Chains A and B, each alone.
Chain A
Amino acid sequence: MYQQKQFFKKTRGGKILKVHREHYLRDDIVCGSLACTTCAHGDSTVLSSEAAQYLLIDTNVALHQMDLLENAAIADVIVPEVVLSEVQARNKAIHGRLRLLVADKSRRFFVFSNEHHKDTFVKTEKGEIVNDRNDRAIRRATTWYQSHLAGKTPDVLLLTNDADNARRARDEGAAAQTVYAYVQSRTDKPELLDFVARTGDTGGEAAGPSAEGDAGPQAKRRMLYAEHKGMAELTAGLQKGLFHQGKLRVNRFNCFEAYVGSQSVGKEILIQGREDLNRAVDGDVVAVELLPPEQWKGPEGGIFREHDEEEEGVAENAEEGAGLAPEIAEDAPGAALENLDIGKEGGRVPTGRVVGIIKRNWRNYAGSLEPMKGPGGSGAMAHPLFVSVDRRVPKIRIQTRQLANLADKRIIVAIDKWDRTSRYPEGHYIKTLGDIGDRATESELLLMENDINTRPFSQAVLNCLPPLPWSVSDADVAKPWRADLRNLRVCSVDPIGCRDIDDALHCTALPNGNFEIGVHIADVTNFVHPETPLDLEAADRGTSVYLVERRIDMLPKPLTEDICSLRADVDRLAFSVIWEMTPSADIVKSHYTKSIIRSSAALSYPEAQARMDDPHMSDPLTEDLRNLNRLAKIMRQRRTERGALTLASPEVKFEIDTETHNPLDVGMYQIREANQMIEEYMLLANVSVAEKILKHFPSCSLLRRHPVPTPQMFEPLLRTAAAVGIELDVGSSKALADSLDRAQGSDPYFNKLIRILATRCMTQAVYFCSGELSPPEYHHYGLASPLYTHFTSPIRRYADVVVHRLLAAALNLTPLPERTRDKKSMHDLSDGLNYRHRNAQMAGRASVELHTLIFFKDRAVDAEARIVKVRSNGFIVFVPKYGIEGPVYLTKKPDKGAGPDPNDDFVVDEEHQTITSKDKRQTYKVLDTVTVHIEVQEPQPHRPKLILTLASDSKEQDGFA
């Protein structure tokens, strides 16, 4: 063991410190090659002795060519430690992917700790900059490998796109090639060429193909964009207040209009046009310079654009209109704009331009290629434009040799670079999802867009499962802390066709007139142990995702559908919460235990409802259900009195063809008393468990809170309500609940509609770690409960798994895993779960939209709709039967930039939310019922969309929509 010391100088908070750290050099670091006879072989010895050559990559190759490296045709790669740490410092996501590659033994990636090897460590020379020193270290590692493996079959090839580095490597006697040259030499895998990213420093050989693609040689190209300022200049500018930093959010309907939420300005800064956006892409953290106030603009398109997202869809022309179906009302830039009330200052808002990019947010984009003129002969290099399904993303130019194959496919593409000279960013192809318009492909695409992991479970994960077929063993029964509750009459009630049953109930009348009620939840933590691959995978997935036609599980199928599922007539392990309740639903005592149960019936909601409603049935199970229902109603009543909100969501249910998985019919999801009954007990169990775990672990319990909505969030609702003459009190959840109850209109659906609109004003409920907030902030607004958590669905939600562990630890059954005790990791976990949860919801909605579209593809129908919002050139309707929401145009689309058409036939009264034709013959008011005609049109290739038109009197206005 040798020792070396390094001296660094470092600033912290402006001060110059001399940092002095030890750096040990070792002689026990192995080369990782099976062909080597001098190094010890171990688990990490992965480099095959049969490989033609080992590839040693440099930092830029790792950073930019990750998609190529992830291709299975690339194996036997040496990653020097210096590369790994540089990648970690520059791009966390890429570092994660590289680490995954290294962990996958079949890919044969080896990390060579060159910085700690006595022969490959290089000392920074005087005046040498870090980059040069690291390049030298990489070259030293290459030459070391070359001499170390001298005389053995595989030799080492340094992959670098830096021409200078490659030349120096050759001077030092090492083999070096650019990525492009290497991939070209791989004649066995010509398709690899598509994966090569086109980065700035392609050097020599690789520059060729990208130059010939666009507008001729580099020199003659016009500069289309202003230069990005360097990091030093940006930092200085930010400090002086010249620039403003913020995350760029592009308008969903117009990719040349974006907003930057800046703290230093305190308002949203509008950025308009290709030049001012200056190559920034949605999600990038950018530095913005404000334009002089006389150049400030209003959001594009005049008066009626100052609000909300849907009416953007109304106002925009077809090209920039809504995507597939009505968009989700969240996170559209317009909403934030409305909150800030910027539109009032004569329509002008702070406007700026992007001067530099602080952090790129490039990800992979799914979409399709723009149809190209001219033959795309197979094998020839073509440079088509790629159009993402995400409207906020600009078109991307890619290069491919398989244009004919990709033309009608959904593909995934990554951005590599965006030069000042090129109108569009340049990128490369990653993979093909399938045919455009194909249901399975489009589903896959929406999963990908929502970052949902659909990969099958790895072998390491599956190895954590108990051997199958599994049954309750004597050892389980013998455990003193596991109560044997198999004598109880337990049943479960779930949606039709549910196979992952994670909750069951029982209700026994006690001799003293009270009831013993138990909620039994699948004991998932008996099988999912902390820190196992299974646990880590589940934590990463966070939740099961339910699409219309399929389910993406959080846990492998044997656990989900068999071992954990509380099916009828088999013994299952459970975690039980048992209360004794008086007939007036007061809890006398509660008790928590792990248990063994045997469900006597797995009912569906309609079945349970039918049993309770049928006066002829009086078997014990039905009686239990009736008792449960009676108590649930009392609890529900009490909860409502406390101020819990009854909200509504426009949920629809598709009937799916079992063979083709295409939707056959669609209708509103019916909510029965049985649903509400089960919900009530689940809420009770969750609240009880939340209290219990918080008592034992005040600083690391995983809870769920629902923040109180701000008054601004209620504004749209109040405006609508006022227009129809209803007064809503949003002072507290109790006041809101009461006024919602009072809001009765002419027809039964009226109240539900108001509730749907109220739901949209709500904030999202989120998971959090109890140590991070003060107890008053734990409050759950919607349920009007001071505490809430998720305990009842551990099969499909990871939060519940954590809560199970917390409860087990609170009962002294198992020690609390280390990660649950740590506030930091709990914070990260709850952030991750919130992200996954939101994405799962988005994917679910997107799936409904997709199926709505497929459903209406071959049929056009007329349906009753309600107006939910009135705009200057039309209104937004909601179709209860199909759960569709979308714009109906009354006027012709305005020409771009021309402002409102003077011949406009309609006048809008914002205050009363009405729209009246000039001749006063027609008036539409918010919440009115209209009949709309629904059909699918394809205004642009590969962009089918649902078009709503007025059905009855559509003939009177020609030419809209």
Chain B
Amino acid sequence: MEYVSPEGLRLDGRRPKEVRQLKCELAVLHRADGSAYLEMGNTKVLATVYGPHEVSQRSQSLHDRALVHCEYSMATFSTGERRRRPKGDRRSVELSLVIRQSMEAAILTHLLPRTQIDIYVQVLQADGGTRAACINAATLALADAGVPMRDLVASCAAGYLNGTPLLDLNYVEDSAGGPDLTVALLPKAEKVTLLQMDSKLPLDTFEAVLGLAMDGCKAIAAHMRQALLEHTRKQAVVRGPVRL
């Protein structure tokens, strides 16, 4: 199958180094402490954050830092086939862990000892790159909740099909069976907080694909920062002028 035409267009009309259209909205749910809704093309994700609050199970409380708890779930209607998805299946446990780990790397947990931060991420519509979208949405929700962080974590996937590195694979490209590399990055420090890959790649190609994914992360980070600034500005307008 031809995923990149000789004219240099992918199946959906993007060029190899383009990400899908990105849309984000903050503070979409008012009961939560922080929430964000994020679209990467047709992948749509909702993230909510509760906390920092008292640790619900005392025994789990950590005396020197905050406890981060993450739950990932996929809506029954998120894929073409409606399927009831049990909580705690292997995939969602793994994804919860992955999201928690990359968030823990960004949150300044030592500033919030003996507290708990809950992150709930729900996939509303899946079209490839859910992992990256979940991480991005979680970052925005944390930022909305005002949790102190080193940087916004940004995440993006990249793949390698028809001898071309491709950025931000959608579902069709993802199911081609080629390598799929998901990277999460602290863009300012250029520190990788997550790196996962299915399938295998020769080392030199891997570096090219990794480089592309990191560039993608940075572009997404810039976009998210912009959205965050705009959201803050709007809130400032609502609250009235702030004098510093």
Contact = CB atoms under 8 A, between A and B. Distances in A.
B111 interface: no
B80 interface: yes
B7 A111 contact: yes
A81 B12 CA distance: 13
Contacts of B41: 22
| Residue of B5, B7, B41 with highest tally of chain A CB at under 10 A | B7
Given A21-B42, A22-B170, A103 B6 contact: yes
B172 interface: yes
Nearest to A117: B13
Interface string A1-28: 1010100000000010111111111100
Contacts of A26: 13
B202 interface: yes
A3 B6 contact: no
B13 A115 contact: yes
A815 B172 CA distance: 30
Contact of A18 (B7, B9, B80, B172): B80
B225 interface: no
A818 B13 contact: no
A99 interface: yes
Interface in B217-233: none
A160 interface: no
Given A17-B81, A23-B13, A111 B6 contact: yes
Contacts of A111: 5-7
B80 A99 contact: no
A532 to B, nearest CB: 13
A520 interface: no
Contact of A24 (B14, B81, B163, B172): B14
A19 B80 contact: yes
Nearest to A85: B5
Interface string B4-30: 011101001110001011000000000
Contacts of A818: 163, 202, 205
Contacts of A815: 202, 204
Interface string B185-205: 000000000000000001011
A23 B12 contact: yes
Contacts of B14: 24
A20 B21 CA distance: 15
Given A44-B7, A111-B6, A113-B9, A22 B80 contact: no
Nearest to B12: A22
Contacts of A531: 163
Contacts of A115: 13
A102 B6 CA distance: 10
A24 B42 contact: no
Contact of B81 (A15, A25, A116): A15
A351 B172 CA distance: 45
Contacts of B21: 1, 3, 22, 24
Contacts of B81: 15, 17
| Residue of B13, B42, B80, B127 with highest tally of chain A CB at under 10 A | B13
Nearest to A531: B163
Interface string A42-82: 00100000000000000000000000000000000000010
Contacts of B18: 1
B99 to A, nearest CB: 24
Contact of B13 (A15, A19, A25, A99): A25
Nearest to A815: B202
| Residue of A15, A20, A22 with highest tally of chain B CB at under 10 A | A22
Contacts of B202: 815, 818, 821
Interface string B39-61: 00110000000000000000000
A17 B83 CA distance: 13
B6 A21 contact: no
Nearest to B163: A818
Contacts of B5: 81, 111, 113
Contacts of B42: 5, 20-22
B12 A24 contact: yes
Contact of A21 (B9, B163, B172): B172
Nearest to B177: A824
Contacts of B172: 21
Contacts of B20: 22
Interface string B96-122: 000000000000000000000000000
Contacts of A18: 80
A190 B12 CA distance: 43
A25 B18 CA distance: 13
Nearest to B80: A17
A113 B42 CA distance: 23
B18 to A, nearest CB: 8
Interface in A611-652: none
B13 A24 contact: yes
Contacts of A1: 18, 21
Nearest to B171: A21
A99 B6 contact: yes
Contacts of A21: 12, 42, 170, 172
| Residue of A1, A19, A24, A531 with highest tally of chain B CB at under 10 A | A24
A616 to B, nearest CB: 58
A111 B6 CA distance: 9
A821 B127 CA distance: 29
Contacts of A102: 6
A721 to B, nearest CB: 52
A21 B172 CA distance: 9
A26 B205 CA distance: 29
A48 to B, nearest CB: 19
Contacts of A15: 81
Contacts of B127: 20, 22
A116 B13 contact: yes
Contacts of A44: 7
A103 B7 CA distance: 11
Contacts of B6: 99, 102-103, 111
B159 to A, nearest CB: 14
A3 B21 CA distance: 8
A531 B42 CA distance: 35
Nearest to A6: B12
Contacts of A25: 13
A113 B7 contact: yes
Contacts of B9: 113, 116
Nearest to A3: B21
B78 to A, nearest CB: 11
A99 B2 CA distance: 13
Contacts of A99: 6
A102 B5 CA distance: 12
Contacts of B170: 21-22
Nearest to B20: A22
Nearest to A115: B13
Nearest to B14: A24
B75 to A, nearest CB: 15
A828 to B, nearest CB: 13
Interface in A556-606: none
Contacts of A5: 42
Given A81-B7, A815-B204, 15 more contacts: A15-B81, A17-B81, A21-B42, A21-B170, A21-B172, A23-B13, A24-B14, A26-B13, A99-B6, A111-B7, A113-B5, A113-B9, A531-B163, A815-B202, A821-B202
17 contacts: A17-B80, A17-B81, A20-B42, A20-B80, A21-B170, A22-B20, A22-B127, A24-B21, A25-B13, A26-B13, A111-B5, A111-B6, A113-B5, A113-B7, A113-B13, A531-B163, A818-B163
Nearest 8 pairs of A and B residues by beta carbon: A24-B13, A116-B13, A17-B80, A22-B12, A22-B41, A3-B21, A111-B7, A113-B7
